[in-house]
Structure formats: C-alpha cells, structure tokens
Amino acid sequence: MSFIRNILKNSRAHKDGNFFLLLNDILGYKVKNKSLYIKAFTHRSMNIKDKDGNAINYERLEFVGDAMLGAVIASYLFEEVPHGDEGYLTKMRSKIVSREHLNELGKELNLIELVESKIPKANFGNNIHGNLFEALVGAIYLDKGYKYCEQFIHKRVIKPHVDIETLEGRVISYKSLLIEWCQKEKKTFDYNVYEDTGNDDLKHFSVKLSIDEKVISKARATSKKKAEEKASKRAFFAFQKEISRAF
C-alpha cells in the first residue's frame, strides 16, 4: 500500500483532508476501501505503479463503472418500460449513458476538482468529466457492492435526469440520424473534411456537408468527428420536418 501513502503525502487535496470529506458528501457514506477512490481520481500522467509494475490510475475503474451503469440502467428500463422491445431498450440506454450525458454528470458533481494530475485541469478535454464519473461508479461497486452502486446511480442519474418521454425525443448522434434518413430516402451525402489553417492555437477541422450534391451546412471544430457532428446538427434542423415525417 506504499503507493497510496505516496499519493497522500504528495497530494494537496489529500494533505488538507478535503478529498475524503468531499467524497463523503457526494456519496452519502464514509468510504471503506480508500485506495479504490484514490485510484478513481488518479490520472495516468501521475505515472504511478504498484509493486508489480501495474499502472495506478482511473482507467480500469472506468471499465467497471461503464458496465455497472449499463446493468443498472438496463434493469431500470426493463421494469419501467414493459412494452419496449430490445432495440428500443438498447437505444434508450445509449441515450442515458451517452458520453455527453456522463460528462454533464461529472461536471454536476465537480469531480475534476478531486483528480490528481500533472496536467493542468484547464488542458483536459471535456470527456474527463464522464471518465471520472464512470471511475467513481466502478470504485463504489468494488468498495460497497451492487446494492450501494445501484442506489448511487438511481440517486445521481435516474431520479434527477431520466424522463422516458423526454429521452424518446433526444438525439444522440445527429450524424447517425442524418445518414439513416439519407439512406432511407435514397439521398446521396458527402462530408468534405479538411484541416483548417486558421490562427487558433489548437488545430481545427472544417467540414462541408452536401446532400444530393448541394452544400447544406458547414462547421468547424477541434476534431473531424466534432466538426461532422456540428454540421450534421445544422443539416438536421434544415430538414427537421422531412426527417420527422420519415421516422
């Protein structure tokens, strides 16, 4: 357990005792296995390893948390929506545990304030919030078991944020929806993506989205994926009536 003592010794958050006080407020109980929660908020940039050379960071706990979120949400939807078939339930679960929603949950709990990293917090991408939320869920499950994990997910995810009717109308990916509509309506589409050589510090990508050889929308973002999604969202609103009729 020497790696835990080293983190506690070198961490400002742990030195002043705020780490576990803040965790107790978030969880509603006193943590049992402290090492799990320290791992859940240790970024890989800390480059810490255990005595066997295994990396100590939150990434493996993310895997567990992702599985637990999926299981609890699936169980909830199965009971709550008895008429939903497998496809419907899968789509609804995807909406609840989407990366965008998990990022919102992590921000809501201000989890980034607990992370230990050699990278300045301002330099993290948006997904750090959802990653930490998943890691926390994984730590809860391994520390307290399924019952406590389920209670936490119901308290922090389902009760405040899950409304079936609202979710039914929520779009996860505008790009996927637009492509599905184009294929259904036998329309051609093309995402013309190119590197943007603007004056920004970060590299950007621009995209022109054409449908039936006509440019419908343009967008710009720090990744190809984000630029395509932004362009797809703008095209969706341009064809919203037609798409709604098709589905």
Q: Catalytic positions, please?
A: 66, 134
Say which DSSP state 46 is in: G
- Please give the structure tokens belonging to residue 27: 């969880």
Looking only at the bridges linking them, the beta strands covering 204-211 and 214-221 are antiparallel
Distance CA 170, CA 234 (A): 16
Say which DSSP state 158 is in: I
C-beta of residue 117 within 8 angstroms of C-beta of residue 48: no
Helix (H) or strand (E) holding 193: strand 189-196
C-beta contacts of 45-49 below 8 A and 24+ residues apart: 45/117, 45/118, 45/119, 46/7, 46/116, 46/117, 46/118, 47/118, 48/3, 48/6, 48/7, 49/3
C-beta of residue 51 within 8 angstroms of C-beta of residue 20: no
C-beta of residue 133 within 8 angstroms of C-beta of residue 111: yes
Distance CA 221, CA 205 (A): 6
Residue 54 identity (one-letter amino acid): N
User: Quick one: the chain helix, strand, coil %, rounded to 5?
Assistant: 60, 10, 25
